[in-house]
Structure 1
């Protein structure tokens, strides 16, 4: 996976019809700056309103995923979003002169091919991953749908479908690495069953439907007069079908193309969480409604994790400045790793370290690619915790702090020069016999970068 943000090198345009509206649409992908995210713009409407790629903007999931804000609606966003996730594009503006993303051939491949023709551009900022912190689960018992996200330092997706159909049967598809999306998933087309096609037509939908942009599964015997009606519906002289199979006998690109397309839809719909994901996603019999409901659940967890980040206001005076810290801790240059304490109470301490290129460890650690060593992040966290423990005795100058254990240490993202590390150490149990158990976390810009469970002991100097 890319570690830095990406956009595209130049604008690129694709044109086609909307699957349900049948309207001709011109779509232009436009480069965007760092931290812009994925935005849609309706250039055909007054004031050219913008709609963010956000699950909270979803307004319809009946036959695709539609988003809307301030009266500007964008229909069927999932295939274009899946293409952007597959290419690991973080920042882009999608300009549309109509209400629906063009269906193209029913897959993500035409979008990927258009973008590959002009290429990607790496941007000088780290990607803002949402790393799933624990198992997150969704279930629709009535429809027998289940989705799960498990912690993983990567992005993998597995989908299982079962349509109780003699043509399709049970299928599964897996994306083990996001770099495989273009080759293994992107070309897989949308599909529906013949009975769904008839229903959609009666609802005045699929006006842009064509046998070139959708696979129609026929799992029953079709009479000649029905075939004639279908030919008229699609503007064809003739359509054919084997006893049971695919309308007009179109060849599948993969034996499990329907399952792969469902995986494509999952990737596209989960892009609406708003940040690139690091997780193992597993989905059984998913659809747009369940994907969006699951995306909302993921976003709630993401927002809750951000709200847990300690508040740090640089305009407020510190509780302990660097000189006061020197009196409490025996550490000296270059091992003095806490610049100030901004919060201290009976249960929690918050400390700050400003990471600069002048740190001595950058000279020998990853020369030319300065990344703060994880062990030193833990050491700075431990020093913050040590200051906290010292406050539990009336004469801290007469004590040493030693750490007995560091457990469940995890590193969520890189820390580089220019970052401000904010450490939070919180008691998990009352201090007894000079032993303190704490949960430590480190944040940069409100994002968790590392965490660990710490146990410390204070020992009187001899």
Structure 2
């Protein structure tokens, strides 16, 4: 799994018709900055509203996952999102001139191919994984659906489907490495039973449906006149039933292609939780309603964990900025180099660490015999961390200085001693205006708040 975030190198477009709306549409993937995530944009509507790919924006689950925001609706987003997750692309803007991504062949394959043609670009930001630390479970007794997420330092999915059908019985599919998605899962197409197809047409859905973009499973005896009707419905010269119990529209790409497609749908729907996951996902008889309900449970866990407000630091991961990169920006020298590593940096927030060691020079004279890290140095280290955030807002940070203007509401909550690792977090309280930045700064040791302050600073171009 990727450590850093990725986007695409250039814009690429796919064209087709929406499965349910039948509306011709051009869908363009555009590169996006770090921490942008997945966003759709309806460029055919006034003011071109943006719809975040967020589980809270789901408004309809009838034969697909539909999201809506600011009056703009995007139908059937799961195949598009699955392609992005499967390629480990984190940040992209998806522009559409219609209400629904093109169905293409009913899989994610064409999306994967066009995204691969764009090329991947690594970004200077770590992926913001949400790691499942305790089991999360969802069950729908009425539909006999069960989905569970178990702790795992990876992303693996196993899906089982069972339709109590002699044609499509019990099937399993697994994805043990996300890098397998493009070759093992992406090409697996959507499917439906014949009786569902008839019902969907009566409901005025699948207007863009074609016998080339879905596997149609025949689960009952069908008369010749019905086959003739289907042929006329889909503008085909002839429709037959194969011995496998499917229409002669397509050849199966895998014996368990339906189960693999259900796995594809699950990958796409879980993208709506908002962050890449580390978990073992086990799903029995999943569908869009269950997938989205499960994604909501995961997002709720994310929100609850975020309330602790402590950035997660994993020393195994490479830094966003190492000590040499930090002080090319800040231009401090010994003994005023107070930050060892920046491990998170986006437009509004920065997080870094300071390893407190007994060999630092001030311990010789500050409380000899009772070494305590001075509070003024905690503030200085917090300010240097915030300085990185401020300098990140200009294209040429090496040409700027940052200066303290004020410190407010400063509190020291606990003593910091040698051997402690301090995690500093600084967050902008408002957009930077006229070179003035106001930040909330916090310092944590072992999950405990040790220091906090509201700091103001100015950014000034070097003469």
TM-score (norm 1): 0.72
Judge conservation of contact 1:192–1:217 (CA < 8 Å) in 2: yes
**Equivalent residues of 2:138, 2:294 under 8 A apart:** yes
Q: Alpha-carbon deviation of 1:94? A: 0.2
The question of whether the paired residues in 2 share the 8 Å contact of 1:23 and 1:98 is answered with yes
**Aligned counterpart for 1:327 among listed residues 367, 372, 397:** 367
Partner of 1:21, secondary structure, is: coil
Partner of 2:298: 298
1:330-358 Cα offsets, whole Å, 9 max, x none, are: 458xxx7998779xxxxxxxx979779xx
Q: Secondary structure at the match of 1:121?
A: strand
In the aligned structure 2, how far is the partner of 1:340 from the partner of 1:143? 59
Q: 1:65 deviation in Å?
A: 0.1
SS at match of 2:264: helix
Seen in structure 2, the aligned counterparts of structure 1 residues 223 and 418 have a Cα distance that, compared at 3 Å, is same
Distance (whole Å) between structure 1 residues aligned to residue 443 and residue 168 of structure 2: 53
- Which consecutive residues of structure 2, in runs of 5 or more, have no partner in the other structure? 312-348, 351-359, 387-411, 428-440, 451-463
Q: Secondary structure at the match of 2:34?
A: coil
What are the ranges of 5 or more consecutive residues in structure 1 without an aligned counterpart?
315-321, 343-350, 357-383, 391-400, 404-414, 426-439, 444-462
- Deviation of the 1:35 alpha carbon: 1.2
Does the CA contact (< 8 Å) of 1:191 and 1:258 recur in 2?
yes
Equivalent residues, number: 362
Deviates most, 415-424 or 75-84 = 415-424
Distance between the aligned counterparts of 1:416 and 1:114, measured in 2? 41
Q: CA deviation at 1:422?
A: 3.7
Distance 1:256 1:121, change over 3 A: same
Equivalent residues of 2:424, 2:443 under 8 A apart: no
Judging changes above 3 Å, is the alpha-carbon distance between structure 1 residues 53 and 417 closer, same or farther for their aligned structure 2 residues?
closer
Once the two structures are TM-superposed, the CA of residue 133 in structure 1 deviates from its matched residue by 2.3
Task: Using structure 2 for the length normalisation, give the TM-score.
Answer: 0.71
Superimposed CA distance per residue, residues 290-322 of structure 1 (whole angstroms, 9 cap, x where no aligned partner) = 0001101100000000002259x99xxxxxxx9
Asked whether the equivalents of residues 310 and 424 of structure 1 are also in contact (C-alpha less than 8 Å), the reply is: no
Partner of 1:360: none
1:274–1:327: structure 2 CA closer, same or farther, 3 Å change rule? same
Q: Does 1:172 align with 2:146?
A: no
Aligned partners of 1:282, 1:145: CA distance in 2, in Å? 11
Q: Distance in 1 between the 2:173 and 2:369 partners?
A: 55
> Mapping of 1:264-279 within 5 angstroms?
264-279=264-279
What is the DSSP-based 3-state SS (H/G/I as helix, E as strand, rest coil) of the residue aligned with 1:242? coil
Query: Could you tell me which residue of structure 1 aligns to residue 343 of structure 2?
Result: none
Q: Secondary structure at the match of 1:245?
A: coil
State how far apart, in whole Å, the 2-side matches of 1:17 and 1:207 are: 9
Partner residue in 1 for 2:185: 185
Change over 3 Å in CA distance of 1:176–1:221 after alignment to 2: same
Separation (CA, whole Å) in 2 of partners of 1:329 and 1:38: 54
Q: Corresponding residue for 2:39?
A: 39
